[in-house]
Amino acid sequence: MKQRTGTVFETSVQVRARVNGKDVELTVDPRESLVDVLRERLGLTGTKKGCDHGQCGACTVHLDGRRVVSCLTPAVQAEGTEITTIEGVAGPDGELHPLQQAFIDHDAMQCGYCTSGQIMAGLAAIAEGHADTDDRAREYLSGNLCRCGAYCGILAAVRQVAEGDA
């Protein structure tokens, strides 16, 4: 990443990725986190910066279909990947994803700060086959915290979509 040219170190890196279906090319500092690049450079503010220590899950996004906490993911790791944020979940005409609608139907949000991370974690749990029972869904959503305590609604929404009832 850092290239030595004489006594000066080059600290910027070109990163190309596909973000929510659009090709993006950015020059990033190797120390920049993915959440900071998404929010500050690309204007994708749906991904929230909560604890900045990977403990709350508010910054959850999908990197090549895998959920990651973007506050701990260096932006340079996004090179050549497909990134999906909450902004990329809705349909092309803005229709809500079934899980987004289920969150509304089950009142699975209160303040809303954790909602984007909860939805991204829920989508991953469903895709991974880990939302087939209440206990498994709880386990695979446990890395995402809700300070308002909307867990019952979150679980109900994820389970509804997992069961195909959305």
Report pLDDT digits (tens) over 2-42. Answer: 444 443 446 899 999 999 999 999 999 999 999 999 999 99
CATH 1.10.150.120 positions along the chain are 98-162
What CATH class does 3-88 carry? alpha beta
CATH 3.10.20.30 positions along the chain are 3-88
Residue with structure tokens 């869904």?
137
Confirm whether pTM is higher than 0.75.
Answer: yes
Buried b / exposed e over 43-70, threshold 16 CB at 10 Å, is ebebbbbbeeebebbbbbbbbeeebbbb
Q: Which CATH number fits domain 98-162: 1.10.150.120, 3.20.20.330, 3.30.460.10, 1.10.150.250?
A: 1.10.150.120
